[in-house]
Amino acid sequence: VMAASFNNDDSQIVSLAPPPTIMVTSDDTVDEGAKIKRHRKFVTLKRWFSHHSPRHHSDKQIETPSTPTELLQRHNSSLLRRRSMEALDELFLVPLPKVMLRSLVSDNFMVMPDDPYLENVPIKAEVLSVESLQWSQPFNPNIYTIKLKHGPFVWVIRKTYRAFHTLKGDMIHWRNENSTVTAKATVSTPLPQSPRSPRKQFSLMRRQHSIKLRSTFQELDKEDDLIITRKELRHGEHRGKLTRFLNAILEDPNLRKHPSTLHFLEISQYTFVEDLGMKLREGEVAKRSGGYHYVPSCVGASLFTNFKLSVWRNRWLVLKESFLAYIDLDKNSVTGVLLFDETLHVQAGVRHTGTRHGVKISNQEREFVLCCATHRKMTEWKVAILKAMGGPGRVWIEKKRFESFAPVREHCDMTWFVDGEHYMSSLADTLESAVDEIFITDWAISPFVFLKRPCKDKGCYWRLDQILYRKAVEGVKVYILIYKEIERVLNLGSAFAKDYFTTCHPNIVVLRHPDHLSEGILLWAHHEKVVVVDQTVAYVGGMDLTFGRWDTWQHQLTDVGISPLTVLDNPYLSGSKKGSMVSLLGGIPQSHSMIALSSTLTDVLAHVSAVVQVKSGESYQMWIGKDYYNTFIRGLENSEEPFTDNLDRSQEHRMPWHDIAVCLYGQPARDVARHFIQRFNFTKVSKRKTNDSYPYLLPRREFTEQEIPSTEYLHRPSVNTRNCKCQVLRSVGDWSAGLTTQDNSILKAILHSIDYSEHFIYMEIQFFISNLPNQGVYNPVAEAIRNRIARAFSAKQTFRVYLVITLLPEVGGVLGDDSGVPLEALLHWEYSSLFKGRDSLMQRLVREDGIPEDQLWEYISLCGLRAHNKLNGVPVTEILYVHSKLLIVDDKITVVGSANINDRSLLGKKDSEVSVIIEDTDMVTCLINGQPMQVGKFSHSLRTHLFKEHLGLLGNTGANKVVEDPVARHFYEGNWMNTAVKNTIRLQRVFGGKCIPSDDVRNFTELTEFRKQGGLLGTDIEEAMKVLDEVKGHLVTFPTHFLEQEQLRNTIRPLPSEVFY
């Protein structure tokens, strides 16, 4: 019989000598049975003394007795009699285990939550079978298979007989510690206490809880695994005893949440979280540090990483349906996550891992090297991971279309949004409904953008920072990823946004990436625009949550109404700031306010925003402060003063903004969330690995068809279809997501869609730079379009390509002088891709495919958008900035997201992007080239809405019939091309030199003269107004001869030219 006792150092175990050597009395005639019995009493009391030493009771200086005689003498003292008698009662209640007890206070033991179990749900155990391993494990030969059920969770564990005895010993030890009023429990909920005396209290507790435990514990104590015969093992009696033992513990509300019980059952705080999926396997392992594949290009970082020594640490490993996570046993928090992907690989053994009983798990991001306690556990871990890869997690292991990270999803629910008004309104409602978590990643973000306008009724209620603050106060976790720009080159205000959000509330966590110098990333950006709520609703598209993006389909240029926001008289503001600067926090308590702001702004916080009452005939401003801006007039300045106007509204107009986004619901939203989680975890490892304020995120499990909830509460301005196929696409690589290979599935999906198009292609795009391999541009989108047009020409097939591109990039500067070099560079690469030079799309169609130049326009049209409005009664015009990233093919396939047509967006190794391909399965009959054909409701409704907006037909009766057939000649030439040409002529006639770019300008000299032209505005204002009344919509032609005689500069020294494409 082996027994164990703790000495004064709680982390050590002292083994006692065999019983015959310990003499409790001087009477040598005492039989061996009495000696053993007294020895057990001594062990129990010694253990009790050791845990009630001065370390535990500073008010009573008690020393642990060293001999049985000293113990019994001190037992008679009035101070200890009561406590020792309780320990003796406990001794007779439950026999001591036959194995050494494990320390419950060692540094490596796992700290558990208060109660990880489902509330009011029983947990049942059943020992199913036993496997004998006498030849490999002669001293602990039998492995018991145990099935456990807790609500919907069912799992199987395999334990040795020694594990049962260890669990029993820990239960005894815990009850011994917690049988008094003063003893501290090792779990959060102690045994019931009563006002009775300690002995009566313990007697009551014993009557209530000990009858079943005593019988089951005594049954277990009477048997030894080494002497049980195979016949007894095959018989159910032995398994029944073990089953009763486990269920007796699990029925006790305190014992079942004891750390030893949780350890035995392989349970952690993540086990019964239903959204994380089924319980597969958990357990304690040793993990080797390191293993990340991506190493920053900075020399110092590379040397540090390459020479860093590996360290082994004990971790609690959790296997779920689609990921592995490990938990720090000391902090009880996740310290690493490995997501399942196509490269997931599992190996075991010293040959593959370099360590005995080792398991190596690797994916595109990193590899885990684990060390298990035994060969059996190593094998069990390998088998469990392989089973998970073949179970629900196989969707992430299998090869996917376009080599995307996400699979094709059937029966998806989604909505399209055109322009910012309806998009941001729907987003505000969805954010307001958040329950658990919100993910946001943007190229640029401003806390002060209003999502619903005008804000006349609720003031700042629908401002982004206010929404996120309200949800954070409710307990919703908000995680924001922002692109960290190089401020000297491009100041997006990311540092200010991070400081502001993080000081609003601790539940708002913000990370910026990349760190340019430490990671060596100077040229590329995180360009995606994604919002995910509760991993159930996701918004994907081209709209950043920042200034200037909110717009309506009218795209008005002026906004001279009354500002709904003002501040009280503020002594810290003067001049133009006074009366326009608003309290930044707008209602956020000072305790969570922007402590890091300058003293001036901190003083401003005391002044709460107010709502101005508008008089009859007046209107509220829709674009407040710097939201009213125009890059072509003046770039954004002083972003820390968001409510100070950047333009003179009485003299200067804004730049309108056209954009497109979609809302995904259900499983596609979880795919988008998985991408965000991967990027967030990678950024945490890169920048805040040891900072617990930035937690690791975990993906939720797959939806089932019965679980996909209704989306009726969402605000929809468009036709909603529930029957679409959907696949999430992205562009990421090593620097952006830590992957060993580039994911360029957006490019593959675009090429596939163009190649399989039958009747027409419609594209709205901000930048089109493609297929200039001799100049370093490698994405072949232009080549794919050329091949499809060439096939149609050879087959004498009617085929249309609609390209709607922004007329000028949103880059500050003046063409013709040094400030306009960035603008020149972008125009050079775009014109060279489309129509200028031997390698351009149009010249290759003429030269290599034999299409006559005068017939090119039968196949391809290049257009842009321009708006006009009145300012103080005088007409003004501006480019309608096309920020969309949209492809529609045959009204059946839609690709929409954040990716432009250039190498930056499409190759995967440069900018990070997210898009989605949508394939209609819910069809409707429409005319295509005069013939009735099946088209998709989603794609068709989106395309016709855009055509009506561009042609000025929204709200017109019969407009649907006009735009129904995009291939027919009467529409293509009679409506689309004719409207674009006439609008271009009329606008240029009215505004003259303000309509830049123009085909009338072939060089910089002509540009200078052209700018001096005033048009009809300078000669005949009445005639100008009549001409403008004839302008329909915003569609204009894209100039193909603008500056064709100039050799545009293609880069800015010392930047490489690839920064522009």
Kindly list the catalytic residues: 527, 529, 534, 883, 885, 890
Question: What tokens were used for 58?
Answer: 């500073």
Q: How far apart are CA 745 and CA 341, in angstroms?
A: 15
In contact, 281 and 380? CB cutoff 8 Å: yes
Among 381, 365, 372, smallest CA distance to 287 is for: 372
DSSP secondary structure string for all residues of 236-283 = HHHHHHHHHHHHHHHHSTTGGGSHHHHHHHT--TTTT-GGG----EEE
Neighbours of 873 (CB within 10 A): 7
What is the side-by-side order of every strand in the sheet holding 281-288? 333-339, 323-328, 312-319, 281-288, 367-371, 358-362, 345-348
CA atoms of 906 and 783, how far apart (whole Å): 14
Helix and strand counts by DSSP (H, E) for the chain: 30, 35
Q: What is the helix, strand, coil percentage profile of the chain, to 5?
A: 35, 20, 45
263 and 284 Cβ atoms separated by less than 8 Å: yes
**Whole-angstrom distance, CA of residue 994 vs CA of residue 632:** 12
Residue found by looking up tokens 């005033």 in the block:
1014
Two tokens, residue 288: 């080797």
DSSP 8-state secondary structure symbol assigned to residue 1056: -
Q: How many CA atoms lie within 13 A of 703 on its CB side?
A: 20
Dihedrals φ, ψ of 743, to 5°?
Answer: -100, 105
* Cα–Cα distance list, 1010 to 607, 851, 945, 1003 (Å): 49, 34, 35, 10
Question: What's the DSSP call for residue 65?
Answer: P
The secondary structure of residue 108, as a DSSP letter, is T
Q: Residue 456 corresponds to which tokens in the numbers above? A: 């006349």
Contact between 147 and 159 (Cβ < 8 Å): no
Tokens 């107010």: give the residue. Answer: 610
Q: Pull the structure tokens for residue 9.
A: 């150092």
Task: Tell me the C-alpha distance between 750 and 744, whole Å.
Answer: 10
Length, in residues, of the chain: 1061
User: What are phi and psi for residue 935, nearest 5 degrees?
Assistant: -130, 165
**CA 342 to chain centroid:** 20
What distance in Å separates the CA atoms of residue 402 and residue 455, rounded to the nearest whole number? 44
Phi (first) and psi of residue 401, to 5 degrees: -60, 140
Is the distance from CB of 504 to CB of 489 less than 8 angstroms? no
Cα–Cα distance list, 693 to 138, 487, 688 (Å): 48, 26, 9
DSSP per-residue letters across 724-780: EEEEEEEEE-HHHH--SS-EEHHHHHHHHHHHT-SSEEEEEES-B---BGGGTB---
The dihedral formed by the CA atoms of 193, 195, 198 and 201, expressed in degrees to the nearest 10: -60
Nearest-angstrom CA–CA distance, 678 and 365? 9
- 461's tokens: 């209620």
Q: Cα–Cα distance between 880 and 869 in angstroms, integer?
A: 12
CA dihedral sign, ordered 323, 324, 328, 332: positive
CA dist., res. 833 & res. 957, Å (int): 39
Which amino acid is present at 274? E
**Among 1027, 691, 1058, residue whose Cα is nearest residue 904:** 1058
Closest CA to 926 of 971, 956, 887: 971
Residues 270, 273, 276, 279: is their CA dihedral positive or negative? positive
